[in-house]
Amino acid sequence: MADRALVERSAGELLEAFARGETTPVELLEACLERIEQINPAINALTALDAEPARAEAVEATRRWQSGTPKGPLDGLPIGVKDLQDTKGLLTTHGSPRARGNIPDKDLPMVARLREAGAIVLAKTNVPELGAGGNSKNPVWGATGNPFDPNLIAGGSSGGSAAALATDLLPLCTGSDTGGSLRLPAALCGIVGYRPSVDVIAHPTRPLGWSGISVLGPMARTMDDLLLMLSVCQSYSPDDPLSAPADPDRFVQLPQIDLQDLRVGVSEDFGGAPVASDTRETFRARVDVLRPQVKECRPVDLDLGDMDRTFDILRAESFVSAFGEAIRQSPDDFGPHIAANVALGLSMSLADRAWAHLEQTRILRKFNALMRDVDIILLPTSPVSPFPWTQSHAMEIDGHTMDIYYRWLALTYRGSLAGGPAITLPSGLDHHGMPFGLQMLGALGQDERLLASAKAIETLFARSPATARPRPDLTKLRASTVDLRSIVTHPPVMGNATQPDLLSMKTAV
């Protein structure tokens, strides 16, 4: 550990170093700020930065560690919070011109839990406008570039979080997921993204409280770090009827998984979704690495029903509930993706909604039947390698034209419909030299088993450079001249925050 930069150490290693007095939260925060100053201009992962309050918190955390009384399991760790999630006193824009000066007066409950555990909220992470789409760009902050090539997408909607983790700007970041927003950017940036079952992390501010299509979740560089963060984030709230009380040690002691006992189902395309041929080849190579190590590895049929239409209706329903009235009153305040989703929802009937909820139930039950014979199901996460961020979305895949901007995310959003856990692990590079993410699905409510399986597979993949977590070339990033803010048309009203690379750190704080 001694020959690695402080910011490159895992969250668990950093906490152990705090406990031993080898470093302090103050030293870590300053190292993060230095890395942010060096790297963030190249990838535009972080938006609003609140360095001075973070410095004060780091001083207090250092005193607690030195006295042997840490506040909680994350005491002194700087984190990034997705810019869709409210942070008390820190600019939260949702990437939307409507909220470019919004400073919330309280935290999202998940963020409050992280603060209570001692985490220091240092920065917000970039998103697509209002979280719509798999490309993290918006008219307030600009685009987030991929850490392996800033000309390409980092994914979305948690793209800023994924890029920040991949470049060690911060040890932990938050995310959320409707159709793949935790998993896709994790795959494209080479980190871990986990969509939990709907009961795991309370989301009491979700507008449609009885719909589990959207969930909150952690993002990290390793499974151990993700589990550390998840142990804090898991929660119950009576205002979220889908959350459930759980043992606080639920994710501390996972079941022991021996790969030789693991039954693995495999699908290249989730029931026929378009997937590029080179992505299929990379996926098959990863399965070939795993196959000799497990008890069973066989194809499964994931043609579970009309998954695309079901997701279209459920997604449109959520957008109408969140933005329908606002877009009617001020249509010029919204970008084309938001308008398209709301228009789609307004074109649907009560009969359409009833059908979608019936079909989602049928999809769940078919998925449950499959999961009786396997422990996990493996798939690619993204159907294509990252493309230029100037392109809104993948227009065509394997000869198939996408009929709506999010259709290229079918490999992830189809999994959302079953309501169970899904995770993406980094697994080397694809044919284009970009990170490749292996997606794993588990049965509803069986999060511990999926996480334990993922941890075992992570250990296997770490043995070979071909399948281990890839790392970006920071020297190339520092020399990057890509203008990721060229699309800004409504710059933020900064309030008490600063954007981390518009000014020198001394001036900015």
Give mean pLDDT, residues 174-194: 98
DSSP 259: G
Our measurement of the distance from residue 201's CA atom to the centroid of its chain's CA atoms, rounded to an integer in Å, reads 14
pLDDT (tens digit, 9 = 90+) per residue, 459-497? 999 999 999 999 999 999 999 999 999 999 999 997 666
Strands 46-49 and 142-143 turn out to be unpaired
Query: Is 142 inside any structural domain?
Result: yes
Give mean pLDDT, residues 68-83: 98
Give mean pLDDT, residues 176-198: 98
Is omega for the bond preceding 347 within 30 degrees of 0, making it cis? Answer: no
Q: Is 369 exposed, middle or buried (0-12, 13-18, 19+ CB in 10 A)?
A: exposed
pLDDT (tens digit, 9 = 90+) per residue, 20-36? 999 999 999 999 999 99
Which residues, including other chains, have CB under 8 Å from residue 495's CB and lie 6 or more apart? 91, 101, 103
DSSP 489: S
Q: What percent of the chain stands above pLDDT 90? A: 91
Alpha-carbon distance of 228 to 141, in angstroms, equals: 30
- Of the candidate ranges 89-93, 124-128, 175-179, 315-319, the one whose mean pLDDT is the lowest: 315-319
Confidence of residue 333 (pLDDT cuts 50, 70, 90): confident
Structure tokens at 336: 């084309």
Query: Is 36 inside any structural domain?
Result: yes
- Do residues 173 and 159 touch, judged by C-beta distance below 8 A? no
- Do residues 180 and 441 touch, judged by C-beta distance below 8 A? no
Give mean pLDDT, residues 333-355: 92
Pick the closest to residue 376 from 305, 427, 316, 300 (CA basis): 300
Q: Residue 1 pLDDT more than 60?
A: no
Alpha-carbon distance of 429 to 476, in angstroms, equals: 17
Angle formed at CA 135 by CA 132 and CA 137, multiple of 5 degrees: 85
> Does the predicted TM-score (pTM) go above 0.85?
yes
Mean pLDDT for the chain overall: 95
Pick the closest to residue 486 from 147, 160, 142 (CA basis): 142
Query: Is 324 inside any structural domain?
Result: no
Domain total for the chain? 1
Query: Is 373 inside any structural domain?
Result: yes
Query: Is 329 inside any structural domain?
Result: no
- Do residues 351 and 211 touch, judged by C-beta distance below 8 A? no
Query: Is 344 inside any structural domain?
Result: no
Strands 263-266 and 376-380 turn out to be parallel
Confidence of residue 48 (pLDDT cuts 50, 70, 90): very high
Query: Is 27 inside any structural domain?
Result: yes
Q: Residue 3 pLDDT more than 50?
A: yes
Q: How many CB atoms lie within 10 A of CB 204?
A: 16
User: Residue 432's domain spans which residues?
Assistant: 6-307+349-508
Q: How many CB atoms lie within 10 A of CB 301?
A: 11
Query: Is 338 inside any structural domain?
Result: no
Pick the closest to residue 487 from 140, 24, 10 (CA basis): 140
Structure tokens at 442: 């588990």
Residues making up the chain, counted from first to last: 509
- Do residues 230 and 452 touch, judged by C-beta distance below 8 A? no
Our measurement of the distance from residue 78's CA atom to the centroid of its chain's CA atoms, rounded to an integer in Å, reads 17
DSSP 75: T
Confidence of residue 503 (pLDDT cuts 50, 70, 90): very low
Q: Residue 193 pLDDT more than 50?
A: yes
Confidence of residue 499 (pLDDT cuts 50, 70, 90): confident
**Identity (one letter) of the amino acid at 67?**
S
Q: Residue 160 pLDDT more than 50?
A: yes
- Of the candidate ranges 223-237, 313-327, 468-482, the one whose mean pLDDT is the lowest: 313-327
Give mean pLDDT, residues 215-226: 98
* CATH number of the domain bearing residue 433: 3.90.1300.10
pLDDT at residue 495, rounded to an integer: 67
Q: What percent of the chain stands above pLDDT 70? A: 97
pLDDT (tens digit, 9 = 90+) per residue, 303-318? 999 999 999 999 999 9
pLDDT at residue 504, rounded to an integer: 32
In which element (H, E) is residue 288 found?
helix 277-290
